Amino acid sequence: MRVTVNRWLGSGFAKPAVFGVALVPFLWLVLAASMDWLGANPAEALERSTGDWTLRMLCCVLAVTPLRTVAHLPALARLRRMLGLFVFFYAALHMLAYSWFDMGFDLADIAADIGKRPFVLVGFMALVLLAALALTSFNRAIRALGARRWQALHRTVYAVALLALVHFFWMRAGKNNFTDVAVYALILGSLLGWRIAKKFSKNEP
C-alpha cells in the first residue's frame, strides 16, 4: 500500500490532482458569492472563509514533513512548494477581501488601520513573510540566495504560523469564541512540537 501511494505521489497525476483539490475552496467561494449563498453578511463570510483556508493550507504545508517521515512517503516533498504557494494565495485573498470590503481600497486608511489595530498588524506581518517565501520558492531563488540562506528564510514559516494563530485569536476574542482557535493551536503546536523533538533527538549523543 505504501509503495503504491508513494508511486502515485511521484507520478505526473499527483500535482494536478492536489492543485485541483486546493483550488476547490476558491471556486466554491466564487460560486457562493455569485449565487448569493454567503448569508446575510457576504463580506464577512468571504473574509472569514479566506482566513480559515489560509490556516488550513498552512497546517497542510507543515504536515508534509512529519507525514513524509512517519509514513515513509518521500514523494510527498514534491507537493510542499505548491501547497506553500496556496497558503500565500488564500492569504492574499484574505487581504484583498479586507482591503475591499472593510477599507474600500483606501491605501491611507489601510496603512492607518495596520498601525492602529494590533491584530491587523500581526496579520499583515504574516502576509509579508508569506510573500517573501512565495517569491523565493523557485529554483532560481535557491541558487541566488544559496542553500543555507534560503533554508534560513524558509524557516520563517514557523513565525508565520505563530503570527497567523495570534491574528486568528485576536479576531475571535471580540466574539469570545475560542473553540476554533484551540483546534488550530493544537494542530500547529503538535506539528511544530514534532519538529522540535526531531531536532533534539538528532543532537542526542
Give dist(CA 123, CA 102) in Å, integer: 15
In a domain, 31, yes or no: no
In a domain, 23, yes or no: no
In a domain, 98, yes or no: yes
User: 194 is in which domain, residue-wise?
Assistant: 43-64+79-203
Task: Identify the burial level of 86 via C-beta atoms within 10 angstroms of its C-beta, where 0-12 means exposed, 13-18 middle and 19 or more buried.
Answer: buried
The pLDDT of residue 205 is 47
pLDDT at position 137 over 50? yes
Q: Please report which confidence band the pLDDT of residue 100 belongs to, taking 50, 70 and 90 as the band edges.
A: very high
pLDDT at position 19 over 90? yes
Q: Over the stretch 154-205, which tens digit does the pLDDT of each residue have?
A: 999 999 999 999 999 998 877 777 888 999 999 999 998 898 888 777 654 4
In a domain, 27, yes or no: no
Q: Please report which confidence band the pLDDT of residue 31 belongs to, taking 50, 70 and 90 as the band edges.
A: very high
Q: Over the stretch 55-71, which tens digit does the pLDDT of each residue have?
A: 999 999 999 999 999 98
Question: Total structural domains in the chain?
Answer: 1
- Helices 157-173 and 42-70, axial angle in degrees (round to 10): 140
Maximum average pLDDT range among 6-20, 46-60, 175-189: 46-60
The pLDDT of residue 203 is 56
In a domain, 2, yes or no: no
Phi-psi region at 106: left, alpha or beta (left = phi > 0; alpha = psi -120 to 50): beta
pTM for the predicted model, two decimal places = 0.94
Q: Please report which confidence band the pLDDT of residue 37 belongs to, taking 50, 70 and 90 as the band edges.
A: very high
The pLDDT of residue 202 is 63
The pLDDT of residue 196 is 85
In a domain, 122, yes or no: yes
In a domain, 193, yes or no: yes
In a domain, 83, yes or no: yes
The pLDDT of residue 133 is 96
Q: CB of 44 within 8 A of CB of 98?
A: no
Three cell numbers at 204? 542526542
